[in-house]
Amino acid sequence: AQTVTQSQPEMSVQEAETVTLSCTYDTSENNYYLFWYKQPPSRQMILVIRQEAYKQQNATENRFSVNFQKAAKSFSLKISDSQLGDTAMYFCAFMSSSNTGKLIFGQGTTLQVKP
């Protein structure tokens, strides 16, 4: 069974600085998708970025980028120029490409951006 692990329960960063959130996963599959979701206090789950395992190029969305290391099964999220609005819980998630549709989440990392 696939598992997703986020080893940092809480992190903090100064506004305008850069922070990296860690995620590792376990799977025997070769094709899959990885996601980072943001959950602000409103509880809404917001997709931040996604990565297809067959793509070697790391995904980037404005200030958000990932470091995808397939062999190491690592998928970290880098937030550059942190803003107060980035304060939220961040979840790493895995989806198999075998069309089960199931999305498996990590435990989450609470990020606090300090002014």
Partner 1 sequence: DAGVIQSPRHEVTEMGQEVTLRCKPISGHDYLFWYRQTMMRGLELLIYFNNNVPIDDSGMPEDRFSAKMPNASFSTLKIQPSEPRDSAVYFCGVRLIYGYTFGSGTRLTVV
Length, in residues, of the chain? 115
Tokens of 86: 């980035």
Q: 11 or 104: whose CB is closer to partner 1? A: 104
Minimum distance between the CB of residue 93 and partner 1, rounded to whole angstroms?
8
Residue 50 is a binding residue for partner 1 (CB under 8 A):
yes
CB 67 within 8 A of CB 78: yes
Minimum distance between the CB of residue 63 and partner 1, rounded to whole angstroms?
20
Residue 48 is a binding residue for partner 1 (CB under 8 A):
no
Residue 68 is a binding residue for partner 1 (CB under 8 A):
no
Binding site for partner 1 (CB under 8 A): 35, 42-45, 47, 50, 91, 100-108
